[in-house]
Structure 1
């Protein structure tokens, strides 16, 4: 090869490497700016939306609500990022002409991505509330209970129909059904809401499934740690879809503030080998000034005010827990069209009516005993008010706001603060 040819090849290689580097630099700058603006549309959520689309389940848009305010720290971080980005662009200005074609291609790709996302968002509500099969109801004693049930179902459906336009689907199907227990004999799906009668409901499911002869003979540990019941996410996609479409789906809910206080009393006011070392230690360490060494070591003695500080903190030292997470995030009532909505406030009446509807054995009645700490006073609104006295007016309002969707969905009255 002639020297001139070698020089020409070296020049071509150099130019190619330079162009590749410039393109990579500009691509990085572009993606950095794009990610700043569209950080919520992550690749993982897009993949989850695609999976949901492939499942052919017609689901409504999500009811997860965006935070109302940004913190000063977040604003400062974003401003810093913008400044750095502008500084990088100034340095790269001579190279803009070289990479302009790449920008145009990326812009077109961005438009295509937005178009595809918009297509994925065109999801529909489940079919209108289907009639309950009441052929097994043999007497008129359930008239009042039935009327209340129909009002709850219609109210929830209307709520979801009204609010789904403003929200987006962001959750994987398997996650949405991960709290749902399956009883195949009587074709029941029960979504577990902790502190709303869930322990006794799981006892009932075990009896219906032939795993026990009486709900009263099943211990607390057998209910929660025995793994005798299957969850809906353990089935394949076809099995999940079939059961969602054909089984009777039920959910039992409770006034959000009552449920919260009940969870706090259960997990933090009694010895607990999990919640004290995992949650208690982290809460005391972050929110208690001059905490004593013993409290930091054991995590015992968390105060309700400290617990609320943890709950409202966007940077919690430890994650959420199902005992105080929102029902809207546990059971997804606007995605899964529940056939029966029971309330803790009328638990026995609603539960026994439901057992009649699904053809349970006549002798099977919903148990009325307290699962644990039976000597404690039940958590009522009067008890709740005593705990709220520890909070400032602002924290009380923020706590209500945290459960705002649950209050709306199930037509609970939000107390005036």
Structure 2
């Protein structure tokens, strides 16, 4: 064989090996991409949110002064990461399947089944008349008349502004501020700075956790975790309680509630609100703030706090102490049986205790939970805080709480 022929054969062999190698590599890459694509599609199908398309949740959003209606559009859905809320069947099913993918699929099916059943609920729930069988005599006649007027006003308002909307809201978030007392079948929606601390004390007494509301400390009330919230139950437990328990909410003039929250959280030492909110507020809204002021976080001025509240790009999020009642308790979606007001707190609260059959000796406590030496926040105190604000700033605060003012029939003397 000639040397030239040997070289040609080697070249042919090399080219053949190279061609087959490239072809094999391309085939491998194609198969790998196909497998990953199939895996991604399967995973997306498993993790696709379960959305109830037929649910008739009517959620009233924000109203602007020109009476345009804006709808809260939070999606009423449950992803697989939220299956932990669904107890019983979901937990039992997941334990019977060894494969991780099998567990996810089974949980997905159980969740889908539960939400399908829940989709049959008609929202909003019907408003029931108050059971007044335990009320004796005419002592509460005036309070009862005021209560019926509030209930009727709120119902009419929600029908007028929320009747045509078919938005959906995340159920567990919607009931996350509602406390449960099973003995007397009470649901109480917490509105901070509207008597909520003493209401929690009352719920603890009703639940047998304390003998007197006056012996329960502030820390035990707020950090003891003695009371269950409605979102800790499964779907059946939530729906049953919403339909059969007496639902109560206590509200307050929005401007008074706002000033009360500011005084409580920023005018007294606070290991949470100063470093979390105070630092961010001073840094963004105080011109030429020094390093010490920013690091300290205390001494926030009311005007700075208002700038934070009205800023659509807040440096730190909202807080329940100044969040709107419409976004805490969803009054146009959950028809509350009892609407109390801070302005007549003791009278309303004690009437409510009579309605639900509380022990005769149990009365709503009238003491100030903290900073007892401070004057209670009232209309005169509010005016002192608002005097440093411009008329435009006062109007913007009113606009921010516009829905709360309307649905609970509060006037606007401070604008």
The two structures have a TM-score, normalised by structure 2, of: 0.73
The 5-angstrom pairing of residues 157-196 of structure 1 reads: 157-165=155-163, 167-196=165-194
Which structure 2 residues correspond to residues 341-380 of structure 1 after superposition, within 5 A?
A: 341-380=339-378
When residues 229 and 327 of structure 1 are mapped into structure 2, their CA distance, relative to the original with a 3 A threshold, is: same
- Taking the aligned partners of 1:122 and 1:222, their CA distance within structure 2 comes to 39
Q: Secondary structure at the match of 2:263?
A: helix
SS of the residue corresponding to residue 289 of structure 1 reads coil
Do the aligned residues in 2 keep the contact of 1:250 with 1:342 (CA within 8 Å)? yes
CA contact (8 A) 1:48 1:172 kept: no
Query: Where does residue 153 of structure 2 map in the other structure?
Result: 155
Q: Which has the higher helix share?
A: 1
Q: Which runs of 5+ in 2 are unaligned?
A: 1-22, 31-47, 67-118
The residue that corresponds to 1:213 in the other structure is: 211
Instruction: Answer yes or no: is 1:226 the counterpart of 2:224.
Output: yes
Q: Partners in 1 of 2:275 and 2:404 — Cα distance? A: 29
Give the drift of 1:125.
Answer: 5.2
Determine the C-alpha separation between the residues in 1 that align with 2:267 and 2:403: 28
Deviation digits for residues 99-146 of structure 1, max 9, x if unmatched? xxxxxxxxxxxxxxxxxxxxxx99965355321110101121000000
Aligned residue for 1:337? 335
- Taking structure 1 as reference, are residues 49 and 252 closer, same or farther at Cα in structure 2, changes over 3 Å only? farther
Once the two structures are TM-superposed, the CA of residue 165 in structure 1 deviates from its matched residue by 4.1
Q: Secondary structure at the match of 2:340?
A: strand
Cα shift at 1:283: 0.2
Aligned to 2:308: 310
What SS does structure 1 have at the residue aligned with 2:138? coil
Q: Is the 8 A contact 2:143 2:351 kept in 1?
A: yes
Deviations 1:19-57 (A, max 9, x none): xxxxxxxxxxxxxxxxxxxxxxxxxxx95752x85xx6x
Q: Distance between the aligned counterparts of 1:136 and 1:240, measured in 2?
A: 26
Other-structure match for 1:383: 381
CA contact (8 A) 1:48 1:171 kept: no
SS in 2 for 1:135: coil
Instruction: Confirm whether residue 279 of structure 1 aligns to residue 272 of structure 2.
Output: no
Q: Any stretches of 5+ residues in structure 1 without a counterpart?
A: 1-9, 18-45, 69-120
Query: Do the aligned partners of residues 122 and 214 (structure 1) sit closer, same or farther apart at CA in structure 2, a change above 3 Å counting?
Result: closer
Per the alignment, residue 289 of structure 1 pairs with: 287
- In structure 2, the CA distance between the partners of 1:151 and 1:67, relative to structure 1 (3 Å rule), is closer
Report the counterpart of residue 200 of structure 1 in structure 2.
Answer: 198
User: Where does residue 135 of structure 1 map in the other structure?
Assistant: 133
CA 1:342–1:177: 2 relative to 1, 3 Å: same
TM-score, with structure 1 as normaliser: 0.73
Deviation, 1:351, is 0.2
Partners of 1:260 and 1:324 within 8 A in 2: yes
3-state SS of paired residue (1:189): strand
Q: Which residue does 2:14 correspond to in 1? A: none
What per-residue deviation string (whole Å, max 9, x for no partner) do you get for residues 56-100 of structure 1? Answer: 6x53233245899xxxxxxxxxxxxxxxxxxxxxxxxxxxxxxxx
Cα distance in 1, alignment partners of residues 387 and 125 from structure 2: 44
The answer on whether the counterparts of 1:256 and 1:407 sit within 8 Å (CA) in structure 2 is: yes
Looking at structure 2, the residues matched to 379 and 373 of structure 1 have their Cα atoms a distance apart, in angstroms, of 12
2: CA distance, partners of 1:134 / 1:166: 33
Q: Would you say the 8 A contact 1:49–1:171 is kept in 2?
A: no
Q: Alpha carbons of 1:169 and 1:65: their partners in 2 closer, same or farther (altered >3 Å)?
A: farther
8 Å contact 1:63–1:334 — kept in the other structure? no
Shift of 1:338: 0.4
Q: C-alpha distance in 2, partners of 1:125/1:221?
A: 37
- Cα distance, 1:194–1:49 mapped onto 2, change above 3 Å: farther
Equivalent position of 1:398 in the other structure: 396
Aligned residues of 1:60 and 1:124 also touching (Cα < 8 A): no
User: Counterparts of 1:308 and 1:416 in 2: how far apart (Å)?
Assistant: 15
Q: Which residue of 2 aligns with 1:71?
A: none
Give the aligned CA root-mean-square deviation in angstroms: 2.8
Cα deviations by residue, 1:178-214 (Å, 9 ceiling, x for unpaired): 0000000000000000000000000000000000000
Residues 316, 386 of structure 1: alpha-carbon distance in 2 compared, 3 angstrom cutoff = same
- Structure 1 residues 319, 67: CA separation in 2 closer, same or farther (over 3 Å shift)? farther
Q: Which moved more, 1:380-389 or 1:127-136?
A: 127-136
1:261 paired residue number: 259
